[in-house]
Amino acid sequence: MNASSQSGSRKKVTVALFVATFLAAIEGTIVGTAMPKITGELSGVQLYSWVISIYLLASVITTPIYGKLSDLYGRKTMFIIGASIFLSGSMLSGIAQSMSQLILFRGLQGLGAGALTTIPYTIIGDLYPFQQRAKVQGWMSSIWGIAGISGPLIGGLLVDYVSWRAIFYMNLPFGAVALYLLSVSLKDKVERKKKYIDYPGIITFAIGMFGLLYALSLVGGETGQQAGWAEVLPYFAMAVIFLSAFAWIEKRSPEPMIPFKLFRNRVISMANGISFLLCLVNVAVIFYLPLWFQGVEGYSATYSGILMIPLSIAWPLGSILAGNLIARLGLRAISLLAACLLLIGSAGFALVSNGTPIALLILFTFCAGMSFGLVLTSMTIAVTSSVGAEIRGAAVASNNFIRTLGQTLGITLFGLLLHTGEANDIDPVVLEASLHHIFVWVAWLCVGVLLLSFFVPKLEHEQNEPGQKAGAKQS
């Protein structure tokens, strides 16, 4: 294949990956807009939260599984399988006739979404050398910010003028195009040898993570159930037993699902640590800033949404900047810059009070959004550039998994600190004190991000051919 046709194929694959990433990203925001309409038609309002929770549970558990299987059987094969499951779940969700059916089909959709959130970054890591890879992954990361802005708007328009079922059907034509482009344009290089699949690792990991995430959802009240510790503790016990068994199995497996040697790589360990802390902060900003605007400041939901726009704009902007600047400034400089912006934003949130000027709130929100884009994108680039192609899928999946785990823990832990008053109506005074407490903790977490950023290793900016190892220089 000549250089021109190679470049054309690579562009088609990149477009397909952008489309698939957008579908997975928008699914996290578009459904929430339609839920009042869905529960009105299908009834079962007590199952409201499960429609969202089951999707997240399934996608989180399958993320590292797809990552490892893509290393063994090829990115193309596993992407097609995952995307097909996602689209099947989308189609079935659109024809659901009850809340129970919708929850089941959303779970199926989530089982496929694990591939769409992980494999595209791995393929980009395979296709592009460092500098081009950084730019492309920067644009890909910005898609999450774009989806955050457009998801509620698209969802609202479809629900009001078409049907809530259209939010699921819209995935089908775009997903079909992405599947076609990738299937005809991506040439997978898979070593033809007998593969060992770590079934014991997959099973123990899936059961253990289900126990942990379900227990956290019960503690945080995300499933709509009022759960006491007597109900929660058995699921925590399940998590401890099966995840301990998973660790024992992985140390002895000839082809572990999550190779523990990844965590001996300093770049990956630092990237995972910073990503975890940042995602703890991330959920607090995304979930509790609108609550501050509405419950404390007394703004309308519409105006609160407008005040969150700086976050949605700054996030993709930070992602694009990270992709363009990391080769020139280096990973550590980008991390320190982002940590400083994050500290400015979080310290600002910790010090705000009822009546703080809107301009300051917008500034703090913009700083937070910019830092999210800079850090999360640069850490993705670091992970894909610090290992060879043979374990790149598992490396990217481990980082994505750590991020989602951080968000899940953040929702639960900060939810325990949130108080709105004794009555059903929000008490602004109680809420303000509660949110102030949360934002103070967020500021301390940001100090942790800043301190870790000083120890981020440098990356070797070697212009490797796609698939060749780009090592991490320890410093």
pLDDT at 281 over 50: yes
Greater model confidence, 19 or 214: 19
- For residue 374, what pLDDT is reported? 92
pLDDT at 62 over 70: yes
- For residue 464, what pLDDT is reported? 45
| CB of 58 closer than 8 Å to CB of 107 | yes
**Sequence letter at residue 156:** G
> What count of other Cβ atoms lies within 10 Å of the Cβ of residue 252?
9
Greater model confidence, 455 or 148: 455
Where does the pLDDT of residue 413 fall: very low under 50, low under 70, confident under 90, or very high at 90 and above? Answer: confident
Mean pLDDT of 112-133: 87
Record the pTM: 0.78
CA distances from residue 398 to 27, 395, 405 in whole angstroms, order as listed: 21, 5, 10
DSSP conformational letter for 379? H
Mean pLDDT of 165-180: 92
pLDDT digits (tens, 9 = 90+) for 20-34: 988 888 886 777 777
pLDDT digits (tens, 9 = 90+) for 294-322: 788 887 766 777 788 888 889 889 988 98
Tokens of 286: 């995304």
**Which CATH number fits the domain 1-192, given the four candidates 3.30.460.10, 3.30.450.20, 1.10.260.30, 1.20.1250.20?**
1.20.1250.20
Mean pLDDT of 168-177: 92
Instruction: Check if CATH label 3.30.429.10 holds for domain 259-475.
Output: no
pLDDT at 364 over 60: yes
Kindly state the helix (H) or strand (E) to which residue 110 belongs, with its residue range.
helix 99-116
Mean pLDDT of 191-201: 74
pLDDT at 156 over 80: no
Q: How far apart are CA 440 and CA 445, in angstroms?
A: 9
pLDDT digits (tens, 9 = 90+) for 433-461: 888 899 999 999 999 999 999 988 876 55
- For residue 468, what pLDDT is reported? 44
Domain locations in the chain?
1-192, 198-254, 259-475
Range from 45-49, 225-229, 290-294, 391-395 carrying the lowest mean pLDDT: 225-229
The percentage of residues in the chain with a pLDDT greater than 70, rounded to a whole number, is 87
- For residue 469, what pLDDT is reported? 44
> Identical fold at 1-192 and 259-475?
yes
Beta carbons within 8 Å of 393's beta carbon, 6+ residues apart: 66, 67, 68, 69, 70, 71, 75, 118, 119, 122
